Amino acid sequence: MSTEQKRSWLKDFFQIGEVGGYFFRKKDPNRPRNESIRAMHIINKIAILMFLICLIIILKRYIFGY
């Protein structure tokens, strides 16, 4: 594997475009306004944030100890 292919693979691996787009997308005027869907998205965002925070804490404890 050449260094160019290795860089490309790492760049693709750490790309967070879809996750970032989920949190920071513009409002679509054509999208239907529904309270159930809005609540679902809020709960999903909270769950993703909690997962990332817990993952950081677990990695910190693994690397640096308790």
Does 19 map to a domain?
no
Q: Is 20 part of any domain?
A: no
Res 15: pLDDT: 66
- What pLDDT is attached to residue 30? 81
17 within a domain of the structure (yes/no): no
Residue 14 in any domain: the answer is no
Q: Is 8 within the bounds of a domain?
A: no
User: Which residue type does 22 have?
Assistant: Y
The 8-class DSSP code of residue 66 comes to -
Q: Would 50 be classed as within a structural domain?
A: yes
- Give residue 58's domain range: 35-66
Overall domain count for the chain: 1
Q: Would 28 be classed as within a structural domain?
A: no
Quick one: the chain helix, strand, coil %, rounded to 5?
75, 0, 25
pLDDT, residue 65, reads 82
Q: What is the pLDDT of residue 66?
A: 72
16 located within any domain? no
Q: What is the pLDDT of residue 21?
A: 64
Mean pLDDT, 10 residues at a time, the chain of 66 residues: 61 64 71 84 92 95 87
